[in-house]
Amino acid sequence: MATVTLIPGDGIGPEVSSATRRVVDAVDAGIEWDVHEAGVQAIETHGSPLPPHVLDSIRTNKAALKGPVTTPVGTGFRSINVALRQELDLYASVRPCKLFPGVPSRFDEVDIVVVRENTEDLYEGIEFEQGTPELNKLRGHLSYMHNYRLARDAGVSIKPISVSATKAIVEYAFAYAKKNRRRKVTLGHKANIMKFSDGVWLETGQRISDEYRDVGFEAMHVDELAMWLAWHPEDFDIIVLPNLYGDIISDLCAGLIGGLGMAPGMNLGKDYAVFEPTHGSAPDIAGQGLANPIAMILSAAALLRHLGNDKGAVAIEEAVSRVMADPQTPRTADLKPPGEPATTDEIADAIVSALT
Ligand code: NAD
């Protein structure tokens, strides 16, 4: 019996979480859920979007399954997703994008794993709001030290990229490639423009790649990478990216495999692991039972594998595969079924029935 922290999240989070819980409970994985609120509800009940007891629970249990949490735009509310990753040093975000037969896609075969650096880059939170005394000080400094004239009406976000964080994530990508017998790592960057941040990323990545001669390696400008992904996704295997590009490119890759409803994810550190779908809280469909729970169900399968329960993980993945391969079984609206779309609960029912 393992205890795992469960954060249902908000928006569609509670709907996809309860569907996922049913599937995991149906494989007798022996998991006891330690359920905690985070996000908007937690502000109402505990005065903070990420109350300390939620972090304590993950620190105790070492693993968590998390639904999406809303980050309102333009408020003082900092992203709890970013805070969680930084607090627990979950430096590796791993987002497998595998096309299941039967899922509508423009492509026949896609099997890409996006490995995203999760702790720094423009997500570090070093931000200067337009018109503040802090930004005026920075403006003065930039003018004095670098003769750079920062526009009066600008806001500023700073992008740090370190050798140590780059080394950790690129080594993770190569180790993952070796363990999972993958053929190639593609490193995306924009070092031609951001010479001192992406420059560190590229140079460090190239240096690490020399230590893994048995895995293929290529470096590519991220804009070119986006073009090739949309055209020939079969040419890619593992893609390692800094935080912001990783966020964008993993959504692009989700679009190759049937959309965000099919894209699972995990956030891994040396001590803790948090499993969560790539998608957000989808306020446009929340509360209507329309959300596709498969991204979160596949994230839970990855959790089981992490806990050493390969049998449970494979059982869930094969059940999802069987449901998707059968044209008679229902699909949620995001997969654009020909007839009446299925509800979140109906998909969970179909997956539970397909478990062998
Ligand atoms: P989103 O992923 O919530 O939604 C984008 C689109 O995809 C929407 O049309 C939505 O309906 C659809 N979609 C997403 N998941 C789906 C699912 N499971 N089934 C069917 N359709 C699905 O992205 P957004 O609208 O940019 O973000 C909404 C909120 O979520 C924001 O506050 C954002 O900050 C937050 N967010 C949280 C996380 C997280 O908790 N890890 C990740 C991304 C975004």
Mean pLDDT, residues 327-341: 91
Asked if 147 and 84 touch (Cβ cutoff 8 Å), the reply is no
Q: Helix, strand, coil: what percent of the chain each, to 5?
A: 45, 15, 40
Both tokens of 292, joined, read: 């596709």
The stretch 272-281 carries a mean pLDDT of 96
Q: Please say whether the beta carbons of 222 and 241 come within 8 A.
A: yes
Q: For a ligand 1 pocket test, name from 281, 292, 320, 331 the mutation site with the most ligand atoms within 8 angstroms of its C-beta.
A: 281
Ligand 1 cavity residues, CB under 6 Å: 12, 16, 68-71, 81, 260-261, 276, 279-285, 291-292, 295, 334
Does pLDDT of 147 surpass 90? Answer: yes
**How far is residue 227's CA from residue 231's CA, in Å, rounded to a whole number?**
6
**Which of 260, 284, 345 gets mutated to test ligand 1 (max ligand atoms within 8 A of its CB)?**
260
- What's 99's DSSP letter? P
Positive or negative CA dihedral for 161, 164, 167, 170? negative
Pick the residue whose CA is nearest to atom 36 on ligand 1.
280
Backbone angles phi, psi at 140, to 5 degrees: -60, -45
Task: Flag whether pLDDT at 23 surpasses 70.
Answer: yes
Q: Which atom of ligand 1 is nearest to the CA of 70?
A: 32
pLDDT of residue 125 exceeding 90: no
Ramachandran quadrant class, 82 (left: phi over 0; alpha: psi -120 to 50; beta: rest): alpha
pLDDT in tens, 225-259: 999 999 999 999 999 999 999 999 999 999 999 99
What does the alpha-carbon distance between residue 119 and residue 61 come to, in Å, rounded to a whole number?
21
The pLDDT of residue 76 is 60
The Å distance, Cα 314 to ligand 1 centre, comes to 26
Q: Specify the residue with its C-alpha closest to ligand 1, atom 41.
A: 68
Task: Report the share of the chain in percent with pLDDT over 70.
Answer: 98
Cα of 340 from ligand 1 centre, angstroms: 23
pTM for this structure?
Answer: 0.94
Q: Report the 3 state secondary structure along 107-129.
A: CCCCEEEEEEECCCHHHHCCEEC
pLDDT of residue 77: 63
What is the model's pLDDT at position 99?
Answer: 98
Burial string for 148-170 (b: 16+ CB within 10 Å, else e) reads: eebeeeeebeebebbeebbebbb
What sign has the CA pseudo-torsion 15, 83, 49, 154?
Answer: negative
Structure confidence by residue, pLDDT tens digits, 34-85: 999 998 788 888 888 889 999 999 999 999 999 999 887 665 667 888 889 8
Nearest ligand 1 atom to alpha carbon 72: 32
| Contact in structure between 89 and 82 (CB atoms under 8 Å) | no
User: Which residue's CA is minimally distant from atom 1 of ligand 1?
Assistant: 280
Q: What is the rounded average pLDDT of the residues 200-223?
A: 97
Q: Which of the residues are catalytic?
A: 123, 190, 223, 247
The reported pLDDT for the residue numbered 186 is 98
pLDDT digits (tens, 9 = 90+) for 91-120: 999 999 999 999 999 999 999 999 999 999
Q: Indicate which residue's Cα is closest to atom 44 of ligand 1.
A: 280
